[in-house]
Structure 1
Amino acid sequence: MVEVILMACIGALAAVMANLGIAVFNDGLRPIIPENLEGRMSRKELGITAFAMSFGLVIGFGIPISIAGSIILIHSILLGTDIIGLALNRGKINAVIAGVAGALYGAGIYFGLQAVVDAFALLPLNFVEGFNKVGEPVVVSFMVFPAIAVALQFGIKKGIVTFLVAAIARQLIVFANTEKLIRMNGTEVILSPEGIALIVGMIFLITFAVREKSDEQNLSQLAALFTERVAKIKKYVWVLMISGGLVAAATNQLLIAGDPISLNLLAEGKISEGGIASLAKAIGFVPLIASTAIATGVYGPVGFTFVFGAGIFTPHPIIAAILGAAIIFAEVMLLTQLAKLLDKYPGIRASGENIRTAMTRILEVALLIGGANAANAIVPGLGFFAIAGFYLLNEAAGRPIVRMAIGPVGAIAVGIIGNILVLFGLYTPPSA
């Protein structure tokens, strides 16, 4: 019951914030909100834009990945509440309507996901076990993104060095764990090889980034230009704090995750690795979210996404909620200072975009491989054939489905096709 209430509250508050123009989750929508608030775009146009930008991601990205990991990807909820809130005209009555619709939507996602999983068990070909393979490559490959980000920003040679050092660090930890070399007060300590590789890669990325400094004298141009919009965000900080607290508490209960990488790690029981991945992802999103928030006066319902890491690492949901609220408060209060920092170290600002690009490319490859493995586990032979054809036909069609969704969606399609084949007696599962 508590889980349902949490999901309903998150959905309700996010929809209300979207309706009132306080916060939206889709980074692409944030710069558009002022166009409506300042009279240059109709609410109908805004609602249609929100639907066009978010609906496909909910259906093709958020929900399939949520099903694969049995943890709800936050995109499934907050992209939907963006649509709900922005589809209604801004106002107190409509905000209440949006809140009710958002609550029903949040609860519906919770029950709907479980219903889908339960329905799979009733099928003649239950492909849940095979479908779980979708996330396996993600767990292993997420440690590569700092090296890719370094290569994109600082050149391939530095990227290769970062990759090699991270890979060596990983293997040294594997060796140390196998030989039980690391001990504390006589007790064996097992470290995460992927987590250590990620930390090493991030150290390289941050070191390279801070070497680039700005020569400009005025380091607060961005903040000074949009003082009123920063003040608007601070005015509603108490609402944003509630949102951050709810999300952190839900993450603590493993109801939701902020990204596919940490979701798959959490689904495998790798809590600390999931937390590290979540925090690393948050670092990459700071420049984008901070810049768009300062420029538009519209924040995100999960802030810089550090609230997910807070939820993972804290021992109790109430503590997670308090810490999540405190993190959002600190983020908002530090927006002006953060703008100065991003101006002073342009390398850090640029690294945010490169981290996101690197993560996107890794997820595209990892989820495609995972989807192919899952599809082939469901229906051997046909699985690889279907995913390869699905991917190439999607590319030929101009990519109507985002690349990250091809693997999960393709695996679901193969599962459905496999069940049809079983029903018509055209395929006999290996275990049958």
Structure 2
Amino acid sequence: MNRARRAALVTALVLGVALAVVIAVRTPWTVLPVPSGGHTPLDPTAGLSADQVDRAESFAALLRPTSLFSLALGLAVAAVFGLTRLGSRLVRAVAAPLGGGWAWQVLLGVLSLAVIGRLVTLPLAAYGEVVRHRYGLSTRGWGLWLRDVAVSTAINAALTAVGLLALVWLARRAPRTWWAWGGVGAAALVVVGSFLWPVVIEPAFNRFESMPPGQLRSDLLELAEENGTPVQDVLVSDASRRTTALNAYVSGFGSTRRIVVYDTVLDRLPDDQIESIVAHELGHVAADDVLTGTLMGALGAGAGVAALGWLVSIGPLRRRSGAESLGDPRIVPLVLFLMAVGTLVSTPVQNLVSRHIEARADVHALDLTADPDAFVEMQRLLATTNLSDPDPPAAWQWFFGSHPTTAQRVVLARDWERLDRP
């Protein structure tokens, strides 16, 4: 193992350990003490009717196999292009009409592979949209659906292309240390992206208007003040153009921080339940969860680029793609495949952390509103409207579950009631 390859591996391991330490320290592994007499028994139905549970389970039964197949198919396509010479030939072919320069190979190669990957899984995505229409969850026409698919594909492809263009440029300028500079740049982009997302990406999919003056707006602003995290505005998102799902969130930092409420929430939920949802989101702000997530993302990005520097230096792996080094644009399909694998491997870890963070925000909402009944009813209505399985299979929840199940959240609220909370 040469010195540069060894340094990349050591750096990846050090950053990985640092990430593990941040996860261990910043993740709220215990959000509530055990009440006297033990936890409230878990009701798998979360108090929903048999018809509501059956509807959620039948909806999930139609979408889960499709989601798994789409994930496997996307990974298989990435492997075909990344681990064979087919990918390198495609990268050169798409750039040939523009002179075949290395920069065009990177940019057009990423774009072409993104489009191919999207087209291959498009029938599965369309089937999923048909199911959502059938169950009344989606309100999008097919024109808007195609527009959303095109915009999301374009945004992801553009961001990925710019990132890979920078990496290949660095590899051509500093072939031994590119991964170090690239890791610093990737970490910086994660931080910048956290600040720009609410003002650049969110408006690409939804329109936002200030909530009209009234009691609810005043109560939400007062709730934010009581939380110690004042916001600049309360916005209403035109989510009903796409879905009947219910949601609200707090986004941005400082002068860009705002509460965002779906217009579907205003139509379906009473004010006390809306306040409970917003109190949960304010819990994320109070605990600096966005900053923690940004730090984790920055460390993960740095570790990922360093690991990439080690992996692409493995001769047999790199030669399968037909590339001579990372400075060779033919490496693009292999890098995209490795990124897909890394994302897949890290998903259960991210979701494990997310579930605990979301549970802490639930406790914060209960502390802030002191209204467990509104919290429970809100969770049940969210589950019913969003067609969430209240108690999904354990393996599915372990891998894909970013939030506690509805049944677990109801138990949390009942445990909170049994504690002597301030």
Scaled to the shorter chain, the TM-score interval is under 0.3
TM-score, scaled to structure 2: 0.26
Larger Rg: 2
TM-score, scaled to structure 1: 0.26
Relative contact order, higher structure (CA 8 A, sep 6+) = 2
Return the structure number with greater helix share.
1
